Amino acid sequence: MIQLEALTLGYGQQILLDHVSANLNGGGLIALLGRNGSGKSTLLRATAGLGTIKSGRILLAGKDLAELQPEELARTVSFVTTEKVRIPNLKCRDVVALGRAPYTNWVGRLQPQDREIVA
């Protein structure tokens, strides 16, 4: 579950979302619609811990996003940006395997269980 509590987001003096509150339950599909520049990507980035929150807070499964350790955040949230990443010869399974990084051992090697999940 994701909870937004009086959330204000923006860049510099530009406010994109002002005091937004919402409760989003898991297990379903949610569509985020709006015009270009209305704050959709900004909201998604903030929810992934990648953006600056001007005021308010975001709760993930009842925990304040601002208080999560980076390791816990990486295991809780996945985010795929709309920016094009050009890495030659990178296969789809390699991209998916990158998402297993928070679960690997200290040297970052995939274990058999990780490879099974990727497949």
State pLDDT tens for residues 9-56: 998 889 999 999 999 998 888 899 999 988 998 999 999 998 889 999
Task: Say if residue 80's pLDDT is above 80.
Answer: no
What is the CATH code for 2-76? 3.40.50.300
Question: Per-residue confidence at 118, pLDDT binned at 50, 70, 90?
Answer: very high
Higher pLDDT, 45 or 82: 45
Cα–Cα distance measured from residue 40 to residue 45, given in angstroms and rounded to the nearest whole number: 9
Supply 77's token pair. Answer: 């949230």
In the DSSP assignment, the letter for residue 82 is S
> CA–CA distance from 65 to each of 42, 60, 85, 101, 115 (Å)?
15, 6, 27, 20, 29
Domain coordinates of the chain in residue numbers?
2-76, 84-119
Cα–Cα nearest to 81, from 47, 31, 107, 106? 47
How large is the average pLDDT for residues 63-83?
Answer: 85
Pairing of strands 2-11, 14-24: antiparallel
Question: Per-residue confidence at 87, pLDDT binned at 50, 70, 90?
Answer: confident
* β-sheet bridge partners, residue 3: 23, 59
Task: Say if residue 4's pLDDT is above 90.
Answer: yes
Task: Say if residue 58's pLDDT is above 90.
Answer: yes
